[in-house]
Amino acid sequence: MLSWKLPRLLNVHQVPKVFHEDSIICGYRSPTCSATACVLSLFQLTNETLNIWTHFIPTWYFLWRLLALLSSPGSYHDPYLWPLFVYLLSCCIYPLMSTCAHTFSVMSTQARHICFFLDYGALSMYSLGSAIAYSAYIFPDRWVNSTFHLWFVSWAVFNTIISTGMSCYSRFPEEARPRLSKVLRVTAFAYPYLFDSIPVFYRVFFCSGNDCTHNATITMHIWHSIFAFLTGFLFATHLPERLAPGRFDYVGHSHQLFHVFGVMGTYFQIEALMMDMNLRKTWLLAHGPVPTLSGTLGAFFSAMATSLLLIAVFSWSLYWKPKEQEKGKRN
């Protein structure tokens, strides 16, 4: 008879510092779990279980939205839909990579870093997917075809590469200088979001007049902005567990809430994008630039290739650095 033994859980004093989570005391998995043990841990309550499921389940919802788009007649040949395809693809990638990162990050120290390198890269790609869709559907009428609009995607590609590099690098000073690490990581994610949201913030808070594109999507954009703020706030502050260490180890800590609010923000973002896309289609097709393969799929996959190259370099350095330190000690 086949029997599965669930992995034994540890407290914070039984795992290396690199595996510590701020104000989380119990519920850690062994830092040398096998891949099988990692998968089995999905079915026991650890301090990572809800982190995994809060992104694994939404992945299937976003995939359903993507497949619904692809199954619509003529979607492959309609350039107007290409930005939405790229955006929905990024919405599938980031929760899937987060699920894998949280599942397999306890196989070893190196595996933990590499898993989260990929997670950070996926978040950067989601930011780029948002920028591509924003460029196509969100810009207020008065900004369409402006210099800022025409260079918006190119700048977003640059931001994606910088975000991936900065967030991956932030893992290296994590033990020696945790505050610096946190500042780098928060900046790496906040900056691309703030850049992408410039046309949204302008429409919602600053623009006045007939060419500001005030329509039914404004409410959805506001809800997305609220959830995005809450997501960043939780990521930066580690509340509520910082107020009561050990009380929220399994349920209710900031990273779980961060995932939930992040997914809710993405939901409202999808609804806002699709409403703008449909409500403004006639005007945008008449006055705006036609989306191109190079500006949508080309930009997305070139940034992905560059990000993967950066991740490969950072991953290689994890194995190269200890060897160099050992060699220095011998000399």
The three-state (H, E, C) secondary structure of 9-24, written as one string: CECHHHCCHHHCCCCC
Confidence of residue 207 (pLDDT cuts 50, 70, 90): confident
Confidence of residue 331 (pLDDT cuts 50, 70, 90): very low
Cα–Cα distance, 37 to 8 (Å, whole number)? 10
pLDDT, the chain, mean: 93
Q: Classify 139 as helix, strand or coil.
A: coil
CA angle, corner 27, sides to 24 and 28, nearest 5?
85
* Whether residue 4 has pLDDT greater than 80: no
* Over residues 276-288, mean pLDDT: 96
Helix and strand numbers, DSSP H then E, in the chain? 11, 0
Count other Cβ atoms within 10 Å, centred on residue 27: 21
pLDDT at 24: 97
Peptide bond into 240 cis (omega under 30): yes
> pLDDT digit string (tens) for 89-145?
999 999 999 999 999 999 999 999 999 999 999 999 999 999 999 999 999 999 999
Cα–Cα distance, 125 to 86 (Å, whole number)? 10
What fold, for 46-320?
Rhopdopsin 7-helix transmembrane proteins (1.20.1070)
* Whether residue 328 has pLDDT greater than 50: no
State which amino acid sits at residue 125: M
User: Does 121 or 5 have the greater pLDDT score?
Assistant: 121
Q: Classify 240 as helix, strand or coil.
A: coil
Tally of residues, the chain: 331
> pLDDT digit string (tens) for 227-264?
999 999 999 999 999 999 999 999 999 999 999 999 99
Q: What are phi and psi of 100, to 5 degrees?
A: -65, -40
* Whether residue 330 has pLDDT greater than 70: no
Assigned token pair, 306: 């560059």
Cα–Cα distance, 256 to 98 (Å, whole number)? 12
Taking the model in full, what pTM does it have?
0.94
CA neighbours closer than 13 Å in the CB half-sphere of residue 318 = 19
CA angle, corner 305, sides to 303 and 310, nearest 5?
95
Contact 129, 165 (CB under 8 A): no
> pLDDT digit string (tens) for 149-192?
999 999 999 999 999 999 999 999 998 899 999 999 999 999 99
pLDDT at 323: 52
Cα–Cα distance, 227 to 76 (Å, whole number)? 32
Phi-psi map region of 114: left, alpha, beta (phi>0 left; psi -120 to 50 alpha): alpha
Count other Cβ atoms within 10 Å, centred on residue 151: 12
- Hey, where are the domains in the chain? 46-320
Closest CA to 262 of 148, 126, 128: 126
> pLDDT digit string (tens) for 39-82?
999 999 999 999 999 999 999 999 999 999 999 988 889 999 99
Cα–Cα distance, 115 to 75 (Å, whole number)? 34
